[in-house]
Amino acid sequence: MPAPTNGFRIRVASSTSNLGPGFDCLGLALPIELQLEVTPLPAGSPQPPIELSGTLTERPIDGVERIGAAMGRLAAHLGAALPAARVRAHSEIPVARGMGSSGSATVAGLLAAASLLRADVPEAELFQLGCELEGHPDNIGPALLGGCVIAMPERAGKVHYYQARLHPDLRIVVAWPRTRVETKRARAVLPATVPFSVARDQARRLAQLLRGLEDLDPARLALALDDELHTPYRAPLIPGCAEVLRAARDAGALGAAISGSGSAMIALGRGDLERVGAAMAAAFARAGETPQYRICDIPRAGARVEPLNDSAAPT
């Protein structure tokens, strides 16, 4: 962590999770970022409120301001008191679209507190604290580490994780509508039990997905992304969901899926994916939505802490 004398900037990626069969265990980093600027104040100064801008000004659905909560949790974990600092946070990550906004904010808060306290907190410890705070290792992992992260908590709570290999040409289109989907609502529509054949095929598809992310084989990815565990139940919550998935594939995507719990949708591909993004946006528009989309390369590095140029502001 950098010495905080002149302040520092933290950049944290957003994420997409599940990709169909990777339900609650697989996440990919996306380059739509949350930035945090932290400037220490003189000793004895009162702590000003965190200044929020961008999508952070939207009311959190669960009512939790994640950055401050994570900073306080890390300090308590270390048994230390946070020094006063000016904290300015700006995010471009859409809220309640299944793009890991709360996970990114949690990671930013943990790194901010560690940097202020000049504490060398191990990666695994940060990962564990992030999961305890936010509850979604498939979002915490990519936000903290970048790339593709597979994670699973054991019954005692410890989270085991690793970074999976990705083809260097893999690109993602992420498209999202105006409609927001609360994670709690998306969870509520899932069945308590599923047929044995669905559980069996979910494991088969995940194995194919992991290999497909390495080799970008179109037939393998088409097979892998044909999810039965959560997609059929969540699709009705997202206007135009089936049409957006179909439009992405028809436009040349290697596969498409709901991003996290929605309402964003993703498509996998390589090369120029503008046609895919435009097709997804058009399908959303036909469903009465006002869509946006981004074509993304996968950030392979994790969250970054950089010295702050005091003349710069979050953008």
Same domain, 148 and 240: no
pTM beyond 0.85: the answer is yes
pLDDT above 50 for 108: yes
pLDDT band at 313 (very low <50, low <70, confident <90, very high): very low
Q: For 30-86, what is each residue's pLDDT tens digit?
A: 999 999 999 999 988 999 999 999 999 886 655 568 999 999 999 999 999 999 999
Task: Flag whether 126 is in a domain.
Answer: yes
* pLDDT (0 to 100) of residue 314: 53
CA distances from 184 to 43, 146, 262 (A): 42, 25, 11
Percent of the chain with pLDDT over 90: 88
- Count up the domains in the chain and report the number: 2
Alpha helices by DSSP H, the chain: 66-78, 101-116, 123-134, 137-145, 183-188, 196-215, 218-224, 231-234, 241-250, 274-286
* 157 and 21 assigned to the same domain: yes
Q: Answer whether residue 138 shows pLDDT above 70.
A: yes
pLDDT at 189: 95
Domain containing residue 135:
8-164+301-307
Average pLDDT over residues 253-274: 96
Helix (H, G, I), strand (E, B) or coil at 162: strand
Same domain, yes or no: 181 and 282: yes
33 shares a domain with 125: yes
The verdict on 179 and 160 lying in the same domain is no
Q: Could you tell me if residue 80 is inside a domain?
A: yes
Query: Which of the four pLDDT bands, split at 50, 70 and 90, describes residue 157?
Result: confident
Write the pLDDT tens digit of every residue in 175-206. 999 999 988 899 999 999 999 999 999 999 99
